[in-house]
Structure 1
Amino acid sequence: MTLPTVGTRTLFFTGKGGVGKTSLSCATGLALVHSGKRVLIVSTDPASNLDEVLGTPLTGAPTPIADAPGLYALNIDPEVAARDYRERVVGPYRGVLPAAAIASMEEQFSGACTVEIAAFDAFAKLLGDPSATIGFDHIIFDTAPTGHTLRLLTLPSAWTDFIASSTGGASCLGPLAGLEKQKALYAATVTRLSDPAATTVILVSRAERSSLREAERTRGELVELGVTNLRLALNGMFTAIAPGDAVADALTARGRDAVAAMPVGLARLPRTETPFLPRGTVGLEALRDMVRSKAGDVPAASPVKLGALPPDLESLVADIAKVGRGVIMTMGKGGVGKTTVAASIAMSLARRGHRVTLSTTDPAAHVVDAVGEDVPGLTVTRIDPEQEIANYRTEVLAKAGVGLDAAGRAMLEEDLRSPCTEEIAVFRAFADTVDEGRDQFVVLDTAPTGHTILLLDAAEAYHREVLRSELDMPDAVRNLLPRLRDPVFTKTIIVTLAEATPVHEAERLQHDLARAGISPFAWVINQSLLASGTRDPQLAERGRYEIPFIDRVASACRTVLIAWKA
């Protein structure tokens, strides 16, 4: 394989969920330490699987990777970062202010917006403060799926502008004096991000039209942010060894056609290509194989003897349709096919004569593209953050702004300009969409796991926002968590692939949902090559690799299997 060119100290690997950012960033780090460099890999993904890929438990401090001298890694854990950030701001006032005032401050710092700014605060220290990484030749950031990454990258300018324009003493983030102290660090972070001599951003993509569209959108938005030192890494390039297998020929043609139709902006970028690797990329040996391997290095293997496979998606839809109404949520790690599964369920329900709304809370989703046709009874919508923010600001100003003098109204408007406002505005729209399930079907293609859990957590904290804004709590919000916990009203479907990391991540998601009182209705194993009928040696080897993961899921819960289709 050809690794991305390393010409700067800092590298960012970003792209649509599931394209292989973590494995490619780890393989690059491993190659660098083999050449004598000291490398730190940092994950900013709330749903990070960096420790699993590297085979070493990680914390928020640089941890040496066993059997890879010179390679270190850490996870920026948003929850831990929020706890530390909260204590840094509130701690100095303990024993100084009354207990009620301390409790009020802690309340301000308990929301999802604090989690996000705290994670960024930790990220900014690593990127903007050279002393924090002084012992390393290269810093590699394995970033979150695209929507979250873009939000993370826009925060430096957003928070710098917010701090510069603030005139009050507090906001939803707490005392502004604490943020003011960070202005120099944030400015250094912005400078380093946009300095082509310091930072390279690698846009990772599969040879798929949707993945390349997402990479082009990311490229355009990064250029607008002043980040211009960009590279394209095409991962998992598949070419059939010999023509004649329908699945292998279709996969080859799909990749070739997608690359040929690549957006012009992407096509102009320097590009590297990594071949399709039949085996997994978890563990150092697998990563070393990733660096050494060539496409087609697959030993001859005996045919796979299949037992009974789980049923397909239609059996699941048939059971869902019996209720006649309610909410179906597809959840899982980015890139496992949540959008496609959600669209398939919505279209199938509509074709059975039901009224259906298909919507998304994922800023990087493509539900319209997934449907691709007009289906009677099916309405496709999207929760647009910009529109929801505008509506929310108008509502709050009309309610809480009445009777305020000029200074008071200016402070309220300032608070509503903070990036935190988006979280609560989008959350309200999410609750309204769920409410539609009272008399029809609503299929929700949700955001990647970390963001989704933060969104669900917001339900518990919503009453605090009501007190701040003086808005009445809508019934849709009041009833949201009871509805999500009602297995008759809401069917939660966990989508995964028959691979190590997606299955482990889905198991963690199921655990998080259980803590919120939500039990999955079923699991969907998507894009199975084992079930596709392929006889291509590379794809058959990947199908053989799927077997233990299919067995693991199917033995534990209701499971359906979707074959990869030519």
Structure 2
Amino acid sequence: MLLTFDPKEMVKTPYLFFTGKGGVGKTSTACATAISLAEEGKRVLIVSTDPASNLQDVFEQDLTNEISEVQGVNGLFACNLDPEEAAKDYRESVIGPYKGKLPDSVLATMEEQLSGACTVEIAAFDQFSTLLTKKDITEQFDVIVFDTAPTGHTLRLLSLPSAWNSFLEESTHGASCLGPLSGLDAKKSLYEQTVKALSDPDQTQLFLVTRPDESPIVEAARASAELKDIGLKNQHLIVNGLLGNPVLDDEVSHAFYEKQQKALGMVTDNFKGTDISYLPYVSFSLTGMESLKAWIRGETLKLDEAGAMPPTLLSDLSGFDDVAQDVIQENLRVIFTMGKGGVGKTTLAAELAVKLAEKGVAVHLTTTDPAAHLEQALHSRKVAGNLSLSRVDPKREVELYKKTVLDRAGEGLEGEQLAYLEEDLNSPCTEEIAVFQKFAKIVGQADEEVVIIDTAPTGHTLLLLDAAKSYHKELLRSTGEVSPEVQNLLPRLRNKEETAVLIVTLPEATPVLEAERLHADLERASILPRWWIINQSFALTKTDDKVLGGRGKHEIRWIDRVASKHEKCAIIPWRP
């Protein structure tokens, strides 16, 4: 039996870092922790470095990068650092001196290399490193809470000792995450001090936040392992959103409960030796002091201002059948389902493939999902022989790509420079580029059948590969040849007459905000998503469970936000 998370009992260090996948409740958990500690009489500072931060929404007051007092709780202070703005300033500082001196194509490549998630994360790390070393600030507070911790990959990059710039000048292996490090050598000592403080169990606790669901648990286990590898061993897992006893004779309530209980088995398997606690699933929105205090006390039901449902909002939205019909009517040939992990894009890719096959369309479904349930689900539908399936193994593709790059670009490198190249190849961008090549071959089949692809490279990775035609150059450098499929892939993705991107989200704050960033990212690459699909909505269910029903009411603002911005918008109920 898991213990309820109690900050007063479980917080044991002055520095607290909260990390986890988008949408698991990091910010809410960090805020509730800060409130609880402040109520105990401590002076607490909470700092958000999350580019999708909703810290001001949770506290219901405007926040800036200046430390200010949080209204309603004595001793609680907050600041909302903006890593996106810091990354923008950093890009300009690196690229500015070269404008007018280097060709536009080179500048475009540099700018895109500095536009990815790694640049934002490094900018965030720079901000809180500076904050941690200001004794006039740290000495004012008993506890400093950081909403969002750096990944193990970023910490390894920043802690590798050597002259980054000299390596970057000589490196020709391809663009990934080392670009953001150019020009940061002057801060090497600062970063080393920060990494040392993070690794000190007497100074820092790392709180991994997850939901009782497969995807975020797998991600939390991966993050836990890689952070332990670099010395951050003082970890505590918080399972957020655990439903209490289900309602009798309520199919939705029982199915939701059983799914969570099954996922808890993964928690005990993956986090042996780690302190684990939980927070309850609640009916109300986790914004405002009273809601956060009620949540941390373990309350799950509360009367609040969820707001009335616009009378025709849900009935006016399309269903998933409309998405399938659109694909058939417009003779679309390449379909991508995109979105953050855990929103259901793999399941929806499979469901779309089944719907098309049942209409007599020849379909090929490919996925990067290693789980076997996909094949089982398709088999159970007894689909005709016009549906074929393949699975891309990201791990295998990455290993092949790494080997190719190290064999070619790594020749002549040794010691620290080779260590840089190897760590650069641990970047998330590497997986996208490696899988991109495999997908390119599969998309080449679209002349013969509709190809549905679960997950695609982000707009940033596509632009990184395309800048100054570098995606041809990088593949030519690493593999010695550029296949026609790879040459044709990006133009094909931009052709809305044959390609459709389906963005999948949940009707919650973080998944919607992250999906909006993904949409903007794709637009930068001249790829306009065709459909937004709001998945797993409790607002459409007939549940009698007051907790789940209450959540449905709070989905309305996010459903309305998506529907008001996107003409093609479909919604799918939470289904057992």
TM-score normalised to structure 2 length: 0.78
* Structure 2 unmatched runs, 5+: 172-177, 380-384
CA contact (8 A) 1:296 1:538 kept: yes
Q: Which residue of 2 aligns with 1:312?
A: 319
Name the SS of the counterpart of 2:458 in structure 1: helix
Q: Which residue of 1 aligns with 2:253?
A: 248
Partner Cα separation in structure 2 for residue 546 and residue 141 of structure 1: 27
CA contact (8 A) 1:12 1:200 kept: yes
Name the SS of the counterpart of 1:140 in structure 2: strand
1:539 CA drift (Å):
2.1
Q: Given the alignment of the two structures, is residue 530 of structure 1 paired with residue 535 of structure 2, yes or no? A: no
Q: Aligned letter for 2:132?
A: P
2:568 to 544, 558, 561: 558
Per mean C-alpha deviation after superposition, the further-off stretch among 155-164 and 527-536 is 155-164
2:208 to 199, 203, 212: 203
Partner Cα separation in structure 1 for residue 110 and residue 51 of structure 2: 18
1:199 CA drift (Å):
1.6
1:493 to 499, 502, 512: 502
Q: Which residue of 2 aligns with 1:130?
A: 132
Q: Which residue of 2 aligns with 1:342?
A: 349
CA contact (8 A) 2:519 2:529 kept: yes
1:277 CA drift (Å):
0.9
Q: Which residue of 2 aligns with 1:458?
A: 464
1:441 to 436, 450, 463: 450
1:544 to 550, 553, 566: 553
Distance 1:545 1:99, change over 3 A: closer
1:490 CA drift (Å):
1.9
CA contact (8 A) 2:465 2:471 kept: no
Q: Which residue of 1 aligns with 2:160?
A: 161
Q: Which residue of 1 aligns with 2:122?
A: 120
Deviations 1:175-195 (A, max 9, x none): 999444333233223322322
1:334 CA drift (Å):
4.9
Name the SS of the counterpart of 2:534 in structure 1: strand
Distance 1:487 1:284, change over 3 A: farther
CA RMSD of aligned residues (A): 4.3
Distance 1:48 1:337, change over 3 A: farther
Q: Which residue of 2 aligns with 1:427?
A: 433
Q: Given the alignment of the two structures, is residue 73 of structure 1 paired with residue 74 of structure 2, yes or no? A: no
Distance 1:184 1:554, change over 3 A: closer
How many residue pairs match? The answer is 543
Per mean C-alpha deviation after superposition, the further-off stretch among 349-358 and 186-195 is 349-358
CA contact (8 A) 1:522 1:558 kept: yes
Q: Aligned letter for 1:338?
A: K
Partner Cα separation in structure 2 for residue 335 and residue 192 of structure 1: 32
Q: Aligned letter for 1:314?
A: D
Partner Cα separation in structure 2 for residue 11 and residue 462 of structure 1: 43
Distance 1:63 1:110, change over 3 A: farther
1:419 CA drift (Å):
1.0
1:291-306 paired onto structure 2 within 5 Å: 291-292=296-297, 294-297=299-302
Q: Which residue of 1 aligns with 2:174?
A: none
Q: Which residue of 1 aligns with 2:364?
A: 356
Name the SS of the counterpart of 2:282 in structure 1: coil
CA contact (8 A) 1:171 1:415 kept: no
CA contact (8 A) 2:20 2:219 kept: yes
Distance 1:293 1:109, change over 3 A: same
Partner Cα separation in structure 1 for residue 64 and residue 468 of structure 2: 30
Partner Cα separation in structure 1 for residue 310 and residue 474 of structure 2: 62
CA contact (8 A) 1:13 1:201 kept: yes
Q: Aligned letter for 2:194?
A: T
CA contact (8 A) 2:69 2:78 kept: yes
Partner Cα separation in structure 2 for residue 502 and residue 222 of structure 1: 25
Q: Aligned letter for 1:259?
A: L
Name the SS of the counterpart of 2:244 in structure 1: coil
Partner Cα separation in structure 2 for residue 505 and residue 464 of structure 1: 27
Partner Cα separation in structure 2 for residue 58 and residue 515 of structure 1: 29
Q: Aligned letter for 1:231?
A: H
Distance 1:245 1:417, change over 3 A: closer
Distance 1:395 1:20, change over 3 A: closer
Q: Aligned letter for 1:381?
A: R
Q: Which residue of 2 aligns with 1:394?
A: 404
Distance 1:491 1:31, change over 3 A: same
1:475-490 paired onto structure 2 within 5 Å: 475-490=484-499
Q: Aligned letter for 2:347?
A: T
Name the SS of the counterpart of 1:525 in structure 2: strand
1:363-402 paired onto structure 2 within 5 Å: 368-369=372-373, 372-373=376-377, 375=379, 377-382=387-392, 384=394, 387-388=397-398, 390-391=400-401, 394=404, 398=408
Q: Given the alignment of the two structures, is residue 215 of structure 1 paired with residue 216 of structure 2, yes or no? A: no
TM-score normalised to structure 1 length: 0.79
Q: Aligned letter for 1:318?
A: Q
Partner Cα separation in structure 2 for residue 304 and residue 408 of structure 1: 62
Q: Which residue of 2 aligns with 1:189?
A: 194
1:515 CA drift (Å):
4.8
Distance 1:369 1:32, change over 3 A: farther
Partner Cα separation in structure 2 for residue 98 and residue 221 of structure 1: 38
Partner Cα separation in structure 2 for residue 488 and residue 305 of structure 1: 34
Per mean C-alpha deviation after superposition, the further-off stretch among 473-482 and 100-109 is 100-109
Q: Which residue of 2 aligns with 1:100?
A: 101
Identity %: 33
1:21 CA drift (Å):
1.6
Name the SS of the counterpart of 2:101 in structure 1: helix
1:123 CA drift (Å):
0.5
Distance 1:244 1:11, change over 3 A: same
Name the SS of the counterpart of 2:529 in structure 1: coil
* Structure 1 unmatched runs, 5+: none
1:534 CA drift (Å):
1.0
Partner Cα separation in structure 1 for residue 223 and residue 415 of structure 2: 34
CA contact (8 A) 2:164 2:182 kept: no
Partner Cα separation in structure 2 for residue 177 and residue 20 of structure 1: 33
Partner Cα separation in structure 1 for residue 19 and residue 72 of structure 2: 27
1:341 CA drift (Å):
2.5
Q: Aligned letter for 2:345?
A: K
Q: Aligned letter for 2:205?
A: T
Partner Cα separation in structure 1 for residue 340 and residue 488 of structure 2: 27
1:431 CA drift (Å):
5.6
Q: Aligned letter for 2:11?
A: V
Per mean C-alpha deviation after superposition, the further-off stretch among 270-279 and 422-431 is 422-431
Name the SS of the counterpart of 1:356 in structure 2: strand
CA contact (8 A) 1:241 1:296 kept: no
1:525 CA drift (Å):
1.6
Q: Which residue of 2 aligns with 1:279?
A: 284
Deviations 1:447-469 (A, max 9, x none): 7xxx9343244244263576688
